[in-house]
Each structure stands twice: as C-alpha cells, then as structure tokens.
Amino acid sequence: MSSVLQIYNSLARQKEIFDPVNPPYVGLYVCGPTVYNDVHLGNVRTFISFDMVYRYLKYLGYKVRYVRNITDAGHLTNERGEGVNRIESQSQLEKLEPMEIVQKYTVGFHDVCRLFNLHRPTIEPTATGHIIEQIEMAKQLINNGYAYESNGSVYFDVNAYNSHNHNYGKLSGRNTEELIAGYRDLDGQDEKRNAIDFALWKKASPEHIMRWPSPWGEGFPGWHLECSVMSTKYLGTTFDIHGGGMDLKFPHHECEIAQNIGATGTEPVKYWMHTNMLNFNGQKMSKSLGNSILPLELITGNHPLLDKAYSPMTVRLLFLQSHYSSELDITLKGLQDAEKGLRRLLNAAQYLDGLCLSGETNTTTDDELNQLADKCKEVMDDDFNTAKLIATLYEMASRINIFHNDNKKCPVSEPTFTRFRDIFKAFLFEVLGIVNENEATSTDTLDKVMNLVIDIRKTARENKDWPTSDKIRDALKDAKIILKDNKDGTSYEVE
C-alpha cells in the first residue's frame, strides 16, 4: 500500500492551486467504538491520533469531512461472522436492554472524548441507522457475483472475488492458502462455500433480540459491512484517508476493501493509516495480567499500578510523543516525564505573552528561530510525526525560557518574533490539541472539570453502575474533594 507520506505529496500539488474560497476537500473515515463496554486506553490513543490528523489538515487550510462511526449492531465475538453479538452478550450480563447498553456506553465514550479534548467528527453515523443501506449493498454484491445467500444468511465469496483478479489479503499481506488452513477446523462453517468467506448478513436465531427484516428473513448485519456502507455514503466511492487501530487491519479493513470493490468496482481508499498497540511496563495491557487501566482510572489515579492521578493533557502529550504507528510502552516514569514536559510547554506559552523586542536584531538568533518555526511543519509533513514535533517545541520552549530570563527581551526582528510565537502556539494548542492547564486549580476551571466528572458519575448511577460511581467518589476523596449528593443534585467541596 502507498506510504502515508504520499498524502503530503498529493496535498502539496493541490496546494499549488489553493483556492481559499473552495479549499481542497479531504475525506477522513475512522472506525469508531463498538459501544458494549467502556473504551480502553488503546481506543483513546487511536482517537487522539486521528484527532491530531484532523486538526493538522484543518490547520493547513483543507476542508475536511471527518466521519467516525458508532458500531451499535453486528459486531460478533468472532470477526469472521460467527459467535455471539457483543452488545447482546453485555446486555445479558448487566440485565439491560441492548439499546440501553448502546446508550450507556455511547454517552461514556463521548464523556471520554471531552476529557481528552477531542474534536467532534463532522458526521457520527451509527450501524443501526443504516440497516437499509447495508441490505442494499449485500444485494448488490449478490447481483455482482461476489456474495451468496445460505439458509437466511449472506456471505461474501472470497474465491469468486479472487477469481476476478482481485487479491483478498493485500492490505495485511495474508495469502488465501494460509487463511484457508487457519479457518478449516472452525465451527459454523457448514453454511459457507469456503472457510474464509465472511458474513454480510446473519440470520437471527429465535433468542436474538437485535433483528431487522430483510429479503432473506429476519437478521442483522455483519460487522464489516457497516463501514463500507457509511464511508461510501458520506465520502464517496473513493476517499482519501481511512484510519483505525492496527488490530482492525485484518480482517475488518481487508473485508471492507473486498466489499467496496465488489459493490462499486473501485478501490475505496487512497491511504490507510493504523495506530499501533499500547503496553504497560513492557507487557501487553490485559485484564488477565491486571494491567488494564481504564482512561478514568488513569485520570483519577485509582489503580494499584499507578502512583497518582495524571491529567488528561498529560496522557494526551504522552501518546503524541510517540509516532502513531509505533508501539507505545506506558511507564510511571514516562507519565511523570510527560507531566513535566507539559508544564514546560505551557509555561513557555505563558512566557511568550510577556516577551518584547529588544530593539536590536541578532541575525543568527533570527535565523535560528525561523528554522525552528519551519521545522514544525516539516516534521508534521513527514507522516504526521508528532514525536519530532514535540521535540521541536521543546527546543522552542528552551529559547523562550532564555528570553524570559534575559529581562524578557528578544533580539530578533518583529516579523520573526510574531511568526515564532504564532507557530509555537498554533502547533501546541491547535494541532496537538493541548489545553492550557496552568490555571487548572482556579475556581472557574475546577468547576468545569468537576461538572464533567459529576456528569460521568451521574450517568453511572442512573445505569446502576455502582462500582464506577463509588470509584469516582473515593478517588476524589483521596484528592481532598468531597462530593455531596442531595435532592437538587451533586455538589463538591475542597477540603
């Protein structure tokens, strides 16, 4: 597949004929959460990464349509099209209706997005809102000879797809023979022509709650189909960037490519982007190892592996200090260093406002500041390299500290100072999405933060999620913030 760096080659060519009234249009689609449980830190890293991509493209002046879906139907425990529905399975555990589960965890996801200062997508479609379109695409694939009905279910025919000179597995580098060998002994293969065929539509069993009428009987869509439908509906048959976690490359994104080509005859995506995995102290994060930390636990510090609470912006900076495509190992030292780094950058931004020109221009210093300002865009144009961008911002912060300590005077020209100041702030706040936390202890800011935390706790209590409610209350108590529940709502008091 094409390198993401080529995005910039093509965008740069568009920039040559840039029209500020009708800027180049960029279509960005990102696979959103399956709302059956709380989002985990790996999800947060992915969504922060693509929030950064969205922000940077907008900073460059491009008109971006950012589509991020909500999977509220069709995601089975076995991504090949078998197993149980994740949402229905969770609804049985929590003794709630499936759509109560959907509502509960969609609200929770949006709460987390606000905590980490994520821009809202342009469009946030849901799988259940596009059942008709998914049925239509399945019918189109049958008509085009790429799918077949079997006992009320519809499957994509991988062998038929490959026989038309297509290559199922090209994105992930898998070959059909290996896949067949891996799938041959799996249960639930009787309805399929081939072991590697995947479900477009599944017949609903009598106990299945989430079901819709279709030409093949009552059922529900396969997980992969929704993204093919919603991306092409809102971005066209071919769009610019499709993103998601590395774990989605196969089979989810591989299936999307096959579905789109089978239905439209067109390659759906110009550039695929995948964020990599998170580890904690060198180990994969998992519940079985006891190192799976939820976003809210990281922010409250209420987890046995943490030494204290870390602010959302500390976590955001930590994630962006690594390239989106590289593995990231979370450690306490890394969190502590990110916290110090955040304070350093925010202090520098504050110092900038107090600097003034010395009246004399040191040409060497003038050139150095312009080079640092140029470097911000250069490193971001190199595959969104936020790691190098943050290193550059640290260099800029060092220069700002020198000026601050030297009677707050800058020996540079006014155009250079203005450009240096504007670029430092733009890349820190607009592109990286950092929020100034220097005044986080002020009453106004604390009120905003506490109102959000109280809302999250209120949602947990309404959903009878008492462990989460108690966890928030106890963590705040440890931080000397006491919650007071009364008939008019919840208030707080700092001890």
Least confident of 45-59, 73-87, 216-230: 73-87
Same domain flag for 264 and 294: no
pLDDT at residue number 258: 98
Please tell me which residue, 350 or 13, carries the higher pLDDT value: 350
Provide the domain limits for residue 394: 279-431
Please indicate, yes or no, if residue 437 is contained in any of the structural domains: no
Residue 21 above 90 pLDDT?
no
Are 110 and 258 found together in one domain? yes
User: What's the average model confidence in pLDDT over 110-129?
Assistant: 97
CB burial string 329-361: b at 16+ within 10 A, e below: ebeeeebeebbebbebbbebbebbeebeebeeb
Rounded Cα distance between 329 and 390, Å, is 18
**Among the listed ranges 4-18, 141-155, 364-378, which one has the minimum average pLDDT value?**
4-18
pLDDT bucket at 270, cuts 50 / 70 / 90: very high
pLDDT band at residue 165 using 50, 70 and 90 as cut-offs = very high
Residues 237, 370, single domain; the answer is no
The one-character DSSP state at 71 is: B
312 and 251 in one domain?
no
Instruction: Provide CB contacts within 8 A for 483, sequence distance 6+.
Output: 454, 457, 472, 473, 476, 477, 490, 491, 492
pLDDT higher than threshold 60 for residue 20:
no
Strand pairing report for 278-280 and 283-284: antiparallel
Tell me the pLDDT tens digit for each residue of 275-314: 999 999 999 888 778 888 999 999 999 999 999 999 999 9
- In a shared domain, residues 101 and 203: yes
Question: Is residue 27 included in any domain, yes or no?
Answer: yes
Banded model confidence at residue 218, pLDDT cuts 50, 70, 90: very high
Residue 327: CATH number of its domain: 1.10.730.10
How confident is the prediction for the chain on average, in pLDDT? 89
User: Do 126 and 70 fall within a single domain?
Assistant: yes
Residue 291 shares a structural domain with residue 270: no
> pTM, whole model, 2 decimals?
0.85
Please give the torsion angle defined by the CA atoms of residues 287, 291, 293 and 298, in that order, rounded to the nearest 10 degrees: 160
Residue 249 resides in a domain: yes
Q: What is the pLDDT of residues 442-472, one digit of tens each?
A: 545 666 778 888 888 888 888 888 888 888 8
pLDDT digit string (tens) for 170-203?
999 988 777 776 565 554 567 899 999 999 999 9
HSE at residue 436, side-chain half, CA atoms within 13 A, is 13
Co-location of 312 and 421 in the same domain? yes
Average pLDDT over residues 104-113: 96
